[in-house]
Amino acid sequence: MSIKKVVLDTNIIISATISAQGNPFKIMELVSDNKLQVYYNDEILAEYRKVLAYERLKIDPKKQVEIVDIIKENGIYIKSESSNIPLPDENDRIFYDTAKASEIILITGNKKHFPDESFIITPADFVRLLNDN
Protein backbone atom coordinates (compact mmCIF):
# COMPACT_ATOMS: atom_id res chain seq x y z
CA MET A 1 0.00 0.00 0.00
CA SER A 2 1.36 3.40 -0.90
CA ILE A 3 1.27 6.01 1.85
CA LYS A 4 -2.03 7.85 1.80
CA LYS A 5 -2.31 11.50 2.82
CA VAL A 6 -5.25 12.68 4.90
CA VAL A 7 -6.52 15.28 7.30
CA LEU A 8 -8.15 13.85 10.42
CA ASP A 9 -11.01 15.63 12.10
CA THR A 10 -10.69 15.73 15.88
CA ASN A 11 -13.52 13.22 16.34
CA ILE A 12 -11.37 10.57 14.64
CA ILE A 13 -8.49 11.18 17.06
CA ILE A 14 -10.81 11.08 20.08
CA SER A 15 -12.64 7.94 18.97
CA ALA A 16 -9.36 6.14 18.31
CA THR A 17 -8.01 7.18 21.70
CA ILE A 18 -11.09 6.14 23.65
CA SER A 19 -11.70 2.80 21.92
CA ALA A 20 -9.24 0.25 20.55
CA GLN A 21 -11.93 -0.94 18.17
CA GLY A 22 -13.52 0.49 15.08
CA ASN A 23 -12.38 2.35 12.01
CA PRO A 24 -10.93 5.42 13.77
CA PHE A 25 -8.61 3.10 15.71
CA LYS A 26 -7.62 1.30 12.47
CA ILE A 27 -6.85 4.68 10.91
CA MET A 28 -4.66 5.74 13.84
CA GLU A 29 -2.84 2.39 13.67
CA LEU A 30 -1.99 3.22 10.05
CA VAL A 31 -0.67 6.60 11.18
CA SER A 32 1.43 4.94 13.91
CA ASP A 33 2.76 2.40 11.38
CA ASN A 34 3.69 5.29 9.05
CA LYS A 35 1.33 4.01 6.35
CA LEU A 36 -0.83 7.10 6.56
CA GLN A 37 0.41 10.68 6.67
CA VAL A 38 -1.73 13.19 8.49
CA TYR A 39 -1.50 16.75 7.23
CA TYR A 40 -1.66 19.23 10.10
CA ASN A 41 -0.83 22.76 11.16
CA ASP A 42 -0.56 24.62 14.45
CA GLU A 43 -4.31 25.27 14.62
CA ILE A 44 -5.15 21.60 14.07
CA LEU A 45 -2.67 20.48 16.73
CA ALA A 46 -4.11 23.07 19.13
CA GLU A 47 -7.62 21.72 18.50
CA TYR A 48 -6.45 18.13 19.06
CA ARG A 49 -4.73 19.13 22.33
CA LYS A 50 -7.73 21.11 23.54
CA VAL A 51 -10.24 18.32 22.96
CA LEU A 52 -7.95 15.51 24.16
CA ALA A 53 -7.62 17.43 27.45
CA TYR A 54 -11.38 17.64 28.08
CA GLU A 55 -11.79 16.36 31.61
CA ARG A 56 -14.96 14.44 30.77
CA LEU A 57 -13.01 12.26 28.31
CA LYS A 58 -10.62 11.09 31.04
CA ILE A 59 -7.71 10.62 28.63
CA ASP A 60 -4.41 10.17 30.43
CA PRO A 61 -2.19 13.26 29.93
CA LYS A 62 0.71 11.07 28.74
CA LYS A 63 -1.59 9.52 26.12
CA GLN A 64 -2.66 13.00 25.02
CA VAL A 65 0.97 13.97 24.35
CA GLU A 66 1.68 10.61 22.70
CA ILE A 67 -1.18 11.01 20.20
CA VAL A 68 -0.06 14.49 19.13
CA ASP A 69 3.57 13.32 18.91
CA ILE A 70 2.58 10.42 16.63
CA ILE A 71 0.84 12.84 14.30
CA LYS A 72 3.78 15.24 14.27
CA GLU A 73 6.32 12.45 13.70
CA ASN A 74 4.40 10.74 10.91
CA GLY A 75 2.60 13.70 9.44
CA ILE A 76 3.21 16.67 7.18
CA TYR A 77 3.05 20.25 8.42
CA ILE A 78 1.19 22.52 6.01
CA LYS A 79 -0.10 26.05 6.16
CA SER A 80 -3.36 26.80 4.42
CA GLU A 81 -5.34 29.91 3.65
CA SER A 82 -8.65 30.35 5.39
CA SER A 83 -11.69 29.97 3.14
CA ASN A 84 -14.97 31.78 3.46
CA ILE A 85 -17.21 28.81 2.72
CA PRO A 86 -20.06 28.66 5.25
CA LEU A 87 -19.67 25.91 7.84
CA PRO A 88 -21.99 25.05 10.75
CA ASP A 89 -19.03 24.88 13.16
CA GLU A 90 -16.19 27.37 12.66
CA ASN A 91 -13.83 25.00 14.52
CA ASP A 92 -14.06 22.67 11.52
CA ARG A 93 -12.72 25.27 9.09
CA ILE A 94 -9.08 24.39 9.78
CA PHE A 95 -9.65 20.78 8.76
CA TYR A 96 -11.65 21.68 5.66
CA ASP A 97 -9.18 24.34 4.50
CA THR A 98 -6.15 22.11 5.05
CA ALA A 99 -7.64 19.19 3.12
CA LYS A 100 -8.93 21.42 0.32
CA ALA A 101 -5.60 23.26 -0.07
CA SER A 102 -3.65 20.00 -0.05
CA GLU A 103 -6.12 18.24 -2.36
CA ILE A 104 -6.31 15.28 0.00
CA ILE A 105 -8.99 13.38 1.91
CA LEU A 106 -10.62 14.74 5.05
CA ILE A 107 -11.82 11.93 7.32
CA THR A 108 -14.59 12.89 9.71
CA GLY A 109 -17.30 11.23 11.71
CA ASN A 110 -19.43 14.36 11.23
CA LYS A 111 -19.93 14.77 7.49
CA LYS A 112 -22.97 16.95 8.18
CA HIS A 113 -20.58 19.62 9.52
CA PHE A 114 -19.01 19.99 6.09
CA PRO A 115 -20.10 20.71 2.51
CA ASP A 116 -21.03 17.71 0.39
CA GLU A 117 -17.70 17.30 -1.39
CA SER A 118 -16.06 14.11 -2.61
CA PHE A 119 -12.85 14.57 -0.60
CA ILE A 120 -14.76 14.48 2.70
CA ILE A 121 -15.43 10.91 3.82
CA THR A 122 -16.30 8.88 6.90
CA PRO A 123 -13.88 6.50 8.62
CA ALA A 124 -15.90 3.54 7.30
CA ASP A 125 -15.70 4.87 3.74
CA PHE A 126 -11.95 5.41 4.10
CA VAL A 127 -11.30 1.88 5.39
CA ARG A 128 -13.47 0.50 2.58
CA LEU A 129 -11.46 2.57 0.08
CA LEU A 130 -8.22 1.12 1.45
CA ASN A 131 -9.56 -2.43 1.29
CA ASP A 132 -10.69 -1.93 -2.31
CA ASN A 133 -7.19 -0.86 -3.31
- 69-114 pLDDT, tens digit each: 999 999 999 988 888 988 988 889 999 999 999 999 999 999 999 9
Strands, E, within 1-133: which ranges? 4-8, 36-40, 76-77, 105-107, 120-121
Residue 133 has pLDDT above 80, yes or no: no
Superfamily assignment of 4-132 in CATH? 5'-nuclease (3.40.50.1010)
Q: Which of 29, 39, 43 is nearest to 1 (CA)?
A: 29
Integer CA distances (angstroms), 66 to 13, 58, 75, 82, 105, in order: 12, 15, 14, 28, 24
CB 52 within 8 A of CB 11: no
> Is the model's pLDDT at 16 over the cut of 90?
yes
Q: pTM above 0.85?
A: yes
Give the pLDDT confidence score for residue 3 in this predicted structure: 63
Of all residues in the chain, what percent carry a pLDDT higher than 90? 82
